[in-house]
Structure 1
Amino acid sequence: MREELPGRAALEPGTIEIAFAVFLRLIACLCLVSGVLYWIRLIGYYPGDLYRFDLMPVQWQIAASVLAVLFPFAAAGLWMLASWGPVIWFLCAAGEIAMHAGFPQYFGHRPSVVVTHAVVAAIYCGFRAAMQRRRRAEAVQ
């Protein structure tokens, strides 16, 4: 049985915190897959348009190179539940949203990517708000 220090509550994660950790790890898996797909594009594993670095336009070379490095980095941070993991994911998501919603003439219009990032960001904000509400409720007690 765990002893509690006087004046301190037990630091055990609740249901929200556990669900948040599972959510972050699912997003980490998606980030890893995205990173691998960008690496596949860079090394020219699949034939087709824009599937080889030397044949890509400059804007795709820059974007694919940056995202191929940042997505696996974000995956590592999200999997470890590090505070910098969501920040790196946000940079990747903002980059892809800017690519596909802001500059579709250069990168193509992919609304599924934009909507997916927006939904993930909304769920993340919902989790953070719920955890903050829970902490405030526990502080009042």
Structure 2
Amino acid sequence: MTRGLATRSVPVPDTLDLAFAVFLRCVACLCLVQGVLYWIRLIGYYPGDLYRFDLMPVHWQIAASALAVLFPFAAAGLWMLASWGPVIWFLCAAGEIAMYAGFPQYFGHKPSVVVSHAIVAAAYCGLRAALQMRKRPQAIQ
């Protein structure tokens, strides 16, 4: 081993970095579950009204097919801690908030979905702000 490699320091993630990674991976698991639930709705595996693509109204066909693709894609990005993961999650969350809060006459009223997305967004913003505040004093020195 060369002397240069032996003295190189590797940054060790602290508690805040680990908490942020765990948070993103928990959200990734929830996104994967949401994606699977939308796929179940699309393929008609679950019996019930509007649980088959050909029986859904057009507005449900558009929303369900888009979210069935985007939620697993967001889950992959969040799990890999990629910068595009939260962006795709935001698109999914904005879509569901628009569905359930903006057009309840078409999609139904689900305040729990709207509130859960708001809580996740607030937690994400709080963790990102804490990470930024931690880096800020280091940049000044």
Q: TM-score range with shorter-chain normalisation?
A: over 0.9
Identity %: 79
Q: Which amino acid aligns with 1:3?
A: T
* Inter-partner Cα distance in structure 2 for 1:38 and 1:92: 12
TM-score (norm 1): 0.92
Q: Does 1:13 align with 2:17?
A: no
Gapped regions of structure 2 (runs ≥ 5): 1-5
Q: CA RMSD in A?
A: 1.6
Q: Structure 1's 4 and 139: CA in aligned 2 closer, same or farther, altered over 3 A? A: farther
Question: In the alignment, what sits opposite 2:111?
Answer: 111
Give the deviation of 1:116 after TM superposition: 0.3
Superposition misfits of 4+ residues, deviation over 3 angstroms = 2-5
TM-score (norm 2): 0.92
Gapped regions of structure 1 (runs ≥ 5): none
* Inter-partner Cα distance in structure 2 for 1:27 and 1:56: 28
* Inter-partner Cα distance in structure 2 for 1:69 and 1:54: 18
Q: Does 1:81 align with 2:81?
A: yes
* Inter-partner Cα distance in structure 1 for 2:7 and 2:130: 27
Count of aligned residue pairs for this structure pair: 137
* Inter-partner Cα distance in structure 2 for 1:13 and 1:130: 14
Give the deviation of 1:4 after TM superposition: 5.2
Question: In the alignment, what sits opposite 1:121?
Answer: 121
Question: In the alignment, what sits opposite 1:3?
Answer: 7
Question: In the alignment, what sits opposite 2:45?
Answer: 45
Question: In the alignment, what sits opposite 1:22?
Answer: 22
